[in-house]
Amino acid sequence: MTTVVRRAFKYRFCPTDAQAAELSRTFGCVRKVYNLALAARTQAWTRQERINYNQTSAMLTAWKKSEELAYLSEVSSVPLQQALRHLQVAFTNFFARRAKYPRFKSRKRSRKSAEYTTSAFRFRDGRLTLAKMHEPLNIVWSRPLPAGVSPSTVTVSQDPAGRWFVSMLCDDPSVQPLPATDTAVGVDVGLNHLLTLSTGEKITHPRHERRDRAALAKAQRRLAKKAPGDGANRAKARRKVAKIHARITDRRRDTLHKLTTRLVRENQTLVIEDLSVRNIVKTRSLARAISDAAWADFRSMLEYKAQWYGREVIAVDRWFPSSKMCSRCGTLKKQMPLHVRTWTCGCGATHDRDVNAAKNLLAAGLAVTACGAGVGPQRSTPGGQSATKQETPRREP
Task: Tell me the catalytic residues.
Answer: 188, 273, 354
Please report which helix (H) or strand (E) contains residue 124, including its range: strand 121-124
Given a contact cutoff of 8 angstroms between Cβ atoms, the answer to whether 98 and 91 are in contact is: no
How many whole angstroms separate alpha carbon 82 and alpha carbon 121?
A: 14
Beta-strand pair 269-273/164-172: unpaired
Given a contact cutoff of 8 angstroms between Cβ atoms, the answer to whether 311 and 270 are in contact is: yes
In degrees and rounded to multiples of 5, residue 76 shows phi and psi of -60, 140
Sign of the torsion formed by the C-alpha atoms of 29, 13, 305 and 146: positive
**HEC secondary structure over 162-218:** CCEEEEEEEEECCCCCCCCCCCEEEEEECCCEEEEECCCCEEECCCHHHHCHHHHHH
DSSP state, 138? -
Alpha helices in 294-331 (DSSP H): 295-308
Neighbour tally for 115: CB within 10 Å: 20
Q: Please report, as a single letter, which amino acid is at residue 102.
A: P
Q: Please report, as a single letter, which amino acid is at residue 331.
A: T
